[in-house]
Structure 1
Amino acid sequence: MSDSIRITRDPTAPGPIVRGFAATGYRVGEIAYPALLLSPDWHEPWSPPPFEALTAEAVEPLIAELPEFLLLGTGATLRRAPARFVAALEARGLGVEVMDSRAAARSWGVLRSEGRKICAALYPLDA
């Protein structure tokens, strides 16, 4: 019998996980979505407003679940989130982590595997 301890990490978390990227967007299961809302328990296609017009109402189904914070994927490149959007979420006690959409999708999987209660709104990869 060995006294060594083996530590392994479960690479999956309950709920939806972005499994990859396709020409048409984010692959969750066998379906690719151009833009996506993700919660720990569900996912759905998203028709986001133009980025500069983003409001808290556009992500209301997510923030109603009171996550730790929102991952905002800004499209193909990193952009600063609209100040009004960030202020509206912060007024509700939610932080906003902003990154390009590919990085946000990858971060989603890592953070969910840690059991974090987060949500994500991912703009299209070509935006």
Structure 2
Amino acid sequence: MGQGIEIREAHFPGRSGIDAYGNGGFRFADMSHRGSILCLPSGIYGWDAVEGDVLDIKLFERVLAEAADIEFLLVGTGLSIRPLPAELKTALRGANVSSDPMSTGAAVRTFNVMLAESRAVAAALIAV
């Protein structure tokens, strides 16, 4: 018999600007994704973060795994800006990654500009 439906982790294997955000998700590369995303050098991944979550280091393990290819991490914290916890900032700084929390909308706009400039940028974007 058939194997049934294979559920795979959401992943777009490439760099792409974000075309739109809102209504709980994002549009990029002619696709849409419901929920939060990580935009990393290796691609765009679904991310298990929602507005109001504690931004602990476990949420950023995939970012830290690719830190060698990232200079700037933009963290879209939702509708409002929230500071990053000291432990997370220290871990990122230790990996030579500058981090900047901002609203998700500002992070999307900044990410698109920096990506267009071919900067070593990544983004962790909480859906709004």
Separation in 2, partners of 1:89, 1:51: 21
* Cα shift readout 1:96-127 (whole Å, capped 9, x = no counterpart): 011100110111110000000111101121xx
Which residue identity does 1:32 align to in structure 2?
H
Pairwise CA distance, 1:50: 6.9
> Once structures 1 and 2 are overlaid, which stretch shifts more, 82-91 or 109-118?
82-91
Q: Which runs of 4+ in 1 moved over 4 A?
A: 49-52
Q: Could you say what secondary structure the match of 1:81 adopts?
A: coil
Q: 2:7 maps to which residue?
A: none
Separation in 1, partners of 2:51, 2:20: 24
Pairwise CA distance, 1:40: 3.2
> What RMSD in Å do the two structures reach over aligned CA positions?
2.0
Pairwise CA distance, 1:58: 1.4
Paired residues, number: 112
Instruction: Tell me, yes or no, if the aligned pair for 1:52 and 1:82 is still in contact at 8 Å.
Output: no
Q: Using a 3 Å threshold, how does the CA distance of structure 1 residues 49 and 25 change in structure 2: closer, same or farther?
A: closer
Any stretches of 5+ residues in structure 2 without a counterpart? 1-13
Structure having the larger proportion of residues in strand: 2
Q: 2:23 maps to which residue?
A: 23
Q: Could you say what secondary structure the match of 2:27 adopts?
A: strand
Q: 2:116 maps to which residue?
A: 113
Q: Using a 3 Å threshold, how does the CA distance of structure 1 residues 84 and 51 change in structure 2: closer, same or farther?
A: farther
Separation in 1, partners of 2:31, 2:18: 10
> Once structures 1 and 2 are overlaid, which stretch shifts more, 96-105 or 52-61?
52-61
Pairwise CA distance, 1:55: 2.5
Instruction: Tell me, yes or no, if the aligned pair for 2:77 and 2:104 is still in contact at 8 Å.
Output: yes
* Cα shift readout 1:4-47 (whole Å, capped 9, x = no counterpart): xxxxxxxxxx7121101241321122213321100134101111
Q: 2:71 maps to which residue?
A: 68
Instruction: Tell me, yes or no, if the aligned pair for 2:73 and 2:97 is still in contact at 8 Å.
Output: yes
Q: 1:77 maps to which residue?
A: 80
> Once structures 1 and 2 are overlaid, which stretch shifts more, 70-79 or 38-47?
38-47
